């Protein structure tokens, strides 16, 4: 496997800070805006966005939740063995709110489509925007595009984009994995 580092260290943190400033430009008053991280990996990103926004805005009133999409995916019945879901941690209604849906990597768009379906259990949002750390833009299966992008990556379907989080893997890093060409 060949590894190429796309983001790490200071660049990783600067990217999150830049995305937060873009959010502030569009949502100056966050009273009608909520952050929703798509479990499992988008939750770490949503936590970071919430922390950074709280520091910049000097507030602790942001609403953030985590959304499990396991049974909304179009492929959950294709998996071997039992499928288990995570707990949704959304303790607010999203009716008429502006929702920022957050995930680490946007690839085919199927995860986002499932998240949109799952969101409806919490009300009908006024607007939904999508924030992703990495956009693999040439691999869509459904017509979904992000509003906020940390980094766009042109990659082959055979390549893998791996996001590591300090909370789970001990470091913040994004790498592109490719098979070695013989």
φ and ψ at residue 154, rounded to 5 degrees: -90, 110
Q: What was the pLDDT predicted at 139?
A: 86
Rg (CA), the chain: 16
User: Does some domain include residue 29?
Assistant: yes
Cα 135-170-6 angle, rounded to 5 deg: 30
1 exposure class (CB count in 10 Å sphere: 0-12, 13-18, 19+): exposed
Asked if residue 71 lies in contact with residue 82, where contact means CB atoms within 8 angstroms, the answer is: no
pLDDT digits (tens, 9 = 90+) for 31-67: 999 999 999 999 999 999 999 999 999 999 999 999 9
pTM, two decimal places: 0.92
Give the position of tokens 């990783």: 12
Q: Say which CATH number the domain at 68 has.
A: 3.40.50.2020
pLDDT given for residue 77 in this prediction: 52
Taking a C-beta distance cutoff of 8 angstroms, is the pair 148, 131 a contact? yes
Closest C-alpha among 146, 164, 143, 150 to residue 41: 164
pLDDT at 70: 86
Q: Is 47 exposed, middle or buried (0-12, 13-18, 19+ CB in 10 A)?
A: middle
Q: Residue 129: which of 94, 158, 100, 156 has the closest Cα? A: 100
Residue-by-residue DSSP string for 34-83: EEEEETTHHHHHHHHHHHHHHHHHT-S--EEEEE--GGGSTTGGGSSS--
The domain of 12 spans 7-73+87-157
- State residue 81's pLDDT score: 65
**Residue 87 confidence (pLDDT):** 82
In a domain, 168, yes or no: no
Q: Does residue 126 sit within a domain? A: yes
Residue 115's CB is within 10 A of a number of other CB atoms, namely: 26
Are the beta carbons of 102 and 42 closer than 8 angstroms?
Answer: yes
Let me know if residue 163 belongs to a domain.
Answer: no
How many folded domains does the chain comprise? 1
Is 64 among the domain residues?
yes
pLDDT at 83: 63
As given in the structure block, the two tokens for residue 157 are 């379907």
pLDDT of 29 reads 84
> Which H or E run contains 99?
strand 98-106
pLDDT per residue of the chain (182 residues) written in tens, 0 to 9: 899 999 999 999 999 999 999 999 999 889 999 999 999 999 999 999 999 999 999 999 999 999 999 878 666 555 666 666 778 889 999 999 999 999 999 999 999 999 999 999 999 999 999 999 999 988 899 999 999 999 999 988 889 999 999 999 999 999 999 987 66
82 lies in a domain? no
């Amino acid at each position: 496997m060949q590894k190429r580092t796309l983001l790490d260290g200071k660049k990783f943190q600067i990217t999150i800070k830049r995305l937060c400033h873009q959010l502030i430009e569009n949502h100056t008053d966050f009273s009608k805006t909520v952050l929703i991280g798509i479990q499992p990996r988008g939750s770490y990103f949503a936590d970071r966005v919430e922390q950074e926004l709280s520091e910049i805005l000097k507030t602790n009133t942001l609403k953030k939740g985590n959304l499990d999409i396991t049974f909304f995916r179009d492929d959950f019945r294709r998996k071997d063995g039992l499928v288990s879901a995570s707990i949704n941690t959304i303790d607010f209604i999203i009716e008429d709110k502006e929702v920022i849906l957050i995930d680490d990597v946007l690839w085919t768009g199927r995860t986002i489509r499932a998240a949109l379906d799952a969101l409806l259990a919490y009300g009908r949002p006024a607007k939904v925007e999508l924030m992703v750390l990495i956009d693999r833009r040439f691999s869509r299966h459904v017509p979904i595009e992000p509003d906020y992008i940390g980094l766009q990556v042109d990659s082959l379907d055979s390549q893998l984009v791996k996001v590591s989080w300090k909370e789970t893997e001990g470091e913040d890093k994004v790498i592109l994995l490719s098979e070695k060409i013989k």
